[in-house]
Structure 1
């Protein structure tokens, strides 16, 4: 597993632009400001681009590739057209399925089941409807947390609703596939629950 995914703190910043159909993000070291990963939505079809500017935006398919700064694929997050609840698939650097997410029915604030490659639950992602606060939970243990609040060096960058912090617990071992699933899920929060 690439070293960058063994870190516990990730600052995620979405590219902002007028009339942009694709969702693009950069992931930074929150302390130094160095870019660690680039997340790009590639290969959007014409109809997908058109529907991104309508009320059907959250139903459109997406395919986000997360790469290191050398351009190597680390993770790919993909979903087809979604009519009701989202089912997202996550692939590793070799385009092999490592898991996915299934949106929960009638969740207040938004929720996903995070699944491994055999569709077995790894943890649950639960959010609050009052704002940008999401937790990855395995029973009562918090594996990771995504929020707008950050007291570190990057806090002055939090001027837009498109920036947030991911904090992965020390209890998630380095090299464990759940780290990739957690990083991938952050893209799903933005594309599925918060758009």
Structure 2
């Protein structure tokens, strides 16, 4: 099962002139595909992206074990003005939690909240690039998100990113938290990094 794992290699599909994002999720040790994530937006929203920054337009990312299976988690971002709010919903359409972007953050970051609205973690970015820590409220590390280099041609001519999401042992025994933190890794790309593309 996708959410029983502690490490995920996420590869954004490189596509020129794309209006939606797609991601393949692999087992980093075997290279075996273990999941798939795809942005699902209306045709009208796609057209709006031609004239308005995609960061301002609502989006939904569906995470599945493969392209034909039911969603494992769904990530939804509503209309964004100053701060983004990203909701995470499980396969039963039950809220798992949400993220809120920080208004002022040097390296990028956001807060992680459970379904009851309580803040349970922070995502802190490193100003040098794709290096994010997932920290609980006492500062203990729950996981990391690090960029994997995709090669010069891909990096120069596309906005596709490859990154590793690694969760701590404690997270592995809690599927709800694992779902929230896997979603947090994907939300880094949705909320922050795609703003520049």
Report the TM-score when normalising by structure 2: 0.88
Task: Find the aligned partners of 1:158 and 1:19 in 2 and give their Cα distance.
Answer: 19
1:174 aligns with 2:173: yes
Alignment of 1:78-157 (within 5 A): 78-138=76-136, 139-149=138-148
Aligned position for 2:150: 158
Contact 2:131 2:147 (C-alpha < 8 Å) held by counterparts: yes
TM-score (norm 1): 0.89
Structure 2, unaligned runs of 5 or more: none
Task: State the alpha-carbon separation in 2 of the partners of residues 176 and 65 from structure 1.
Answer: 17
Match of 1:32 in 2: 30
**1:85 and 1:105 in contact (8 A); partners too:** yes
Contact 1:101-1:185 at 8 Å conserved across structures: yes
Offset of residue 55 of structure 1: 5.6
How big is the shift at 1:103? Answer: 0.8
Moved more, 62-71 or 91-100: 62-71
Tell me how far apart the structure 1 counterparts of residues 147 and 185 of structure 2 sit (CA, whole Å).
12
RMSD between superposed Cα atoms in Å = 1.6
More helix by percentage = 2
Closer, same or farther: CA 173–15 of 1 in aligned 2, 3 Å: closer
Of 36, 41, 45, the match for 2:42? 45
* 8 Å Cα contact 1:158/1:164 also seen in 2: no
CA distance in 1, matches of 2:12, 2:54: 17
2: CA distance, partners of 1:81 / 1:16: 26
Tell me if structure 2 keeps the 8 A contact 1:115–1:123: yes
Question: Pairwise mapping of residues 48-87 of structure 1 onto structure 2 (< 5 A)?
Answer: 48-54=45-51, 56-69=53-66, 71-87=69-85
Q: Which sections of structure 1, spanning at least 5 residues, go unmatched?
A: 150-156
- Structure 1 pair 67/143, CA: closer, same or farther in 2 (3 Å)? same
Q: Give the aligned partner of residue 154 of structure 1.
A: none
